[in-house]
C-alpha cells in the first residue's frame, strides 16, 4: 500500500462525531439538487412574489422616504442614535466574499458612515461570517465561538431575527449574526485570521429593515429594546 492509500485509509478511521457533524451539516442545507427540482415551481412563485414586494418597498422608499425613516436613516433608542438601514439599493459589485482575515462593507454601510458623522451613532448590522470563503451556519459552533470572542473584546454582538417567505403566503423567522457597533468599531474591526466578515444592513423579505428590537446579545436571553 502506498502513502496516498495509507492516508486515505487512515481518514476512514476519523471519529464518528466528526462524521455526524458533517452529515448534519449536509442535511441542514435547505436545497439539494433533487429538492431544488422538486420545489422549482414553488420557488419560482415565491421569487416572483418577493420581487413584486421588494419593488413595491423600493418605490415606497423612493417616493415616501418618511414612511420608513422617521428621521433620515437614524432611529433613536435609549442608548443613542442607531442606524439600521440605508437609502438606495445595494450595488451588485459590493457583494463579494471575504477571504480569511478580510472585511467587506456593503455599499449601504459605507454610505451610512458618510451620512452619519455623530461618533456615538451605532450601526445595527448583519455580520456574515465566512471560513475559507464559505458562509458559516449561524447555529454553528464556530459562529458561537467567534461571537463570544468579539464580545469578550467589548463589542456588542449577538443574533438578530428576520423573516422570509415560505409556502403560499407564509412567513418563517430565521436568525443571523448581528452587531450594534459604532463606525470606529466597524472600521477597526478585530478580524480573526480564521474568518472573513461582511457587514450589511439586514432586511426582511418585504424589504423593511430589521430593527434592534429583534437583536439579542450573545449569551443573553433578552431582546434589546
**Residues near other proteins, by CB under 8 A:** 1-16, 18-27, 29-33, 131-137, 140-142, 194-195
Measured from the CB atom, is 84 or 146 closer to other proteins?
146
State the first-to-last Cα distance of the chain, in angstroms, to the nearest integer.
64
Q: Which is nearer to other proteins, 24 or 40 (CB)?
A: 24
Query: Which residues lie closer than 8 Å to 39 by C-beta, 6 or more apart?
Result: 31
| Nearest-approach distance from CB 89 to other proteins, in angstroms | 25
**Residue number, 20 or 65, with CB nearest to other proteins:** 20
Instruction: Report in angstroms how near the CB of residue 25 gets to other proteins at its nearest.
Output: 5
Tell me the closest approach of the beta carbon of residue 63 to other proteins, in angstroms. Answer: 37
Q: Which is nearer to other proteins, 16 or 71 (CB)?
A: 16
Q: How far is the CB of 138 from other proteins (least distance, A)?
A: 12
> Which of 68, 65, 202 minimizes the C-alpha distance to 123?
202
The C-alpha cell at 141 is 459552533
DSSP string, 94-127: G-----TT-EEE-HHHHHHHHH---TT-EEEEEE
- Please classify residue 115 by burial: count the beta carbons closer than 10 Å to its beta carbon, then call 0-12 exposed, 13-18 middle and 19+ buried: middle
Amino acid at each position: 500500500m502506498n502513502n496516498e492509500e495509507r492516508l486515505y485509509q487512515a481518514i476512514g478511521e476519523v471519529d464518528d462525531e466528526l462524521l455526524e457533524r458533517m452529515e448534519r451539516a449536509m442535511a441542514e442545507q435547505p436545497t439539494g439538487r433533487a429538492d431544488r427540482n422538486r420545489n422549482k415551481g414553488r420557488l419560482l412563485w415565491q421569487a416572483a412574489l418577493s420581487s413584486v414586494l421588494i419593488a413595491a418597498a423600493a418605490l415606497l422608499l423612493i417616493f415616501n422616504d418618511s414612511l420608513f425613516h422617521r428621521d433620515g436613516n437614524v432611529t433613536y433608542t435609549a442608548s443613542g442614535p442607531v442606524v439600521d438601514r440605508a437609502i438606495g439599493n445595494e450595488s451588485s459589485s459590493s457583494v463579494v466574499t471575504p477571504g480569511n482575515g478580510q472585511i467587506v462593507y456593503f455599499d449601504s454601510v459605507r454610505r451610512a458612515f458618510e451620512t452619519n458623522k455623530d461618533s456615538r451613532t451605532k450601526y445595527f448590522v448583519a455580520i456574515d461570517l465566512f471560513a475559507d470563503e464559505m458562509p458559516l451556519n449561524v447555529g454553528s459552533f464556530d459562529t458561537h465561538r467567534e461571537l463570544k470572542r468579539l464580545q469578550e473584546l467589548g463589542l456588542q454582538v449577538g443574533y438578530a431575527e428576520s423573516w422570509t417567505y415560505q409556502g403560499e403566503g407564509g412567513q418563517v423567522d430565521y436568525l443571523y449574526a448581528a452587531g450594534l457597533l459604532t463606525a470606529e468599531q466597524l472600521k477597526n474591526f478585530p478580524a480573526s485570521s480564521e474568518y472573513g466578515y461582511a457587514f450589511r444592513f439586514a432586511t426582511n423579505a418585504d424589504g423593511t429593515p430589521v430593527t434592534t428590537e429583534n437583536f439579542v446579545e450573545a449569551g443573553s436571553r433578552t431582546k434589546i429594546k
